[in-house]
Amino acid sequence: MRRVFVILLATMLSAAPARAGYEAAVQALERNDLRAALREAREGAEQGDPRAQRLYGHMLLKGGGTRPNPAEGIRWLRSAAEKGDAIAQRELGAAYMAGTGVAKDLAEAAAWYRKAAEQHDAIAQFMMAVLHLSGEGAPKDDAESARWMLGAANQGEPFAQLALAGYYRKGIGVTPDPLQAYVWASLAAQAKEPKAAATKREIARELSPEQRKEGDRLAKAWRPAQGGAQQAATDALSPRLRATGTGFVVSAEGHVVTNEHVVRGCRRVQVRKLDESVASAQTLAMTRADDLALLKTDLVAEAVAPFRAGGRELRQGDQVVAFGFPLAGLLARSGNLTIGNITALSGYKDNERLLQTSASIQPGNSGGPLLDMNGRVVGVTSSSLERAQNVNFAIKGEVTAAFLEKQGVAVTTTGGSSRAIKPADIGDRAKRFTVRVECLA
């Protein structure tokens, strides 16, 4: 027992100089004695103190008290980062982002920023928001960007508060909310963040006197959140995935059509392309009678879905292809293609606005395109008849086109060729304009 005690005491004493080394380095910095700070930081770093390793690495990287040695600085920063030091993780992310001491690598920068952000480092949270907003180094995801920006803003970073005001003003990853925008701009203005006061005045013009009064009250009552409270506040902007469906792009401006039941009751809607890039979506119009919804996104579409033009009418027995994203998380992310026939020119109980098809429709397929053998939209997949095998319904293409045109979106139409396209080629075309629609609760 005595031997164990002696070993523990020796361990504690051997660790003490490392702590002293870091503290002595900080005191030297306060005296502006860079050489002494460098010496003390090195002593603490060599004894394994991650704080000292981070400080020593930073000084080597920037040339504090010595000539810059970026490679050695990165080595010490990495050692501290791998021990879990959040500031070192953030600085390593910055090094990869700028290409300082390492090859520029935005994905690696994002990986280190995320580690620091998850430890509530506000600057790292801000950087994660920037990367998710730009889609560089991290998947483009406006909702995730807003979540991290809220984390930084909730810790009192005025530049993040001002940025978050813009998110709420423009609806970037959040539902547009001028009152929230006013509150965050007010907080940034209190901290003297440049342009915050002007932004606050601009937003104030959009509010009633009662709303401005409420916004001032909320800003006055606000307090920075830390630790668990900060995480809870951040998670409030991180809703869970409730359901998924399918949609397809119908305009070069990023309009997407899907089923009304796919987006009904969603707190937020987003769309995801095959490359996993994500864009927030605003619901412009819905009709429950026809089970159609029109979304507006900032997607840069690879292609716009063509609708079947006038000419030969669709006939019972015509072959069709359905493309979509059924059973998300179980089936392939690359989408699912099924082939079938038009089995009836009307739907359940002779509903003339529907088609019946044998092309299989699974949960998650809803809102996807039903295509003829020239790759043109003839319907929007909608539902299946429960307890009946292979009885599926789609909203007719002409009904969908009328709905879109009523909303000011003119569909693209094309004539058909006498020569059918192979189903695999139709699928390749559909992948370019079909997206997964995600309902967040």
214 — pLDDT class (breaks 50, 70, 90) = confident
Average pLDDT over residues 313-323: 93
Asked whether 120 and 231 are in contact (CB, 8 A), the reply is yes
Q: Tell me: do 231 and 244 sit in the same domain.
A: no
For residue 256, the domain's CATH number is 2.40.10.120
- DSSP assigned state of 349: G
pLDDT value, residue 7: 36
> What does the pLDDT look like over 46-83, one tens digit per residue?
999 999 999 999 999 988 888 999 999 999 999 999 99
In a domain, 369, yes or no: yes
- DSSP assigned state of 381: E
Longest dimension (CA), the chain: 96
- DSSP assigned state of 355: E
Q: Tell me: do 277 and 385 sit in the same domain.
A: yes
In a domain, 126, yes or no: no
Distance CA 89, CA 102 (A): 14
> What does the pLDDT look like over 351-399, one tens digit per residue?
999 999 999 887 788 999 999 999 999 999 998 876 667 789 999 999 9
Structure tokens at 345: 């020119």
Q: Which of 296, 361, 299, 362 is nearest to 329 (CA)?
A: 362
Q: Which of 235, 265, 299 is the last residue of a domain?
A: 235
pLDDT value, residue 210: 87
CB atoms within 10 A of CB 66: 15
In a domain, 136, yes or no: no
- 414 beta partners: 308
Q: Tell me: do 332 and 405 sit in the same domain.
A: yes
In a domain, 128, yes or no: no
Amino acid at 177: D
Q: Tell me: do 294 and 433 sit in the same domain.
A: yes
Q: Which of 235, 256, 281 is the last residue of a domain?
A: 235
Q: Tell me: do 215 and 294 sit in the same domain.
A: no
What's this model's pTM, rounded to 2 decimal places? Answer: 0.54
Distances (CA, A) of 138 to 32, 110, 148, 326: 39, 6, 13, 25
Is the pLDDT confidence value at 14 over 50? no
9 — pLDDT class (breaks 50, 70, 90) = very low
Distance CA 41, CA 61 (A): 13
Q: Tell me: do 24 and 39 sit in the same domain.
A: yes
pLDDT value, residue 239: 57
Burial of 433 (0-12, 13-18, 19+ CB in 10 A): buried
Which of the given ranges, 9-13, 48-52, 229-233, has the highest pLDDT on average? 48-52
Q: Tell me: do 217 and 148 sit in the same domain.
A: yes
Asked whether 179 and 217 are in contact (CB, 8 A), the reply is no
Q: What is the CA radius of gyration of the chain?
A: 29
Is the pLDDT confidence value at 272 over 80? yes
Distances (CA, A) of 35 to 59, 62, 205: 10, 13, 55
- Domain range enclosing 163: 142-235
Q: Tell me: do 252 and 317 sit in the same domain.
A: yes
Distances (CA, A) of 110 to 130, 137, 230: 10, 6, 21
| Weakest mean pLDDT among 37-46, 277-286, 420-429 | 277-286
For residue 31, the domain's CATH number is 1.25.40.10
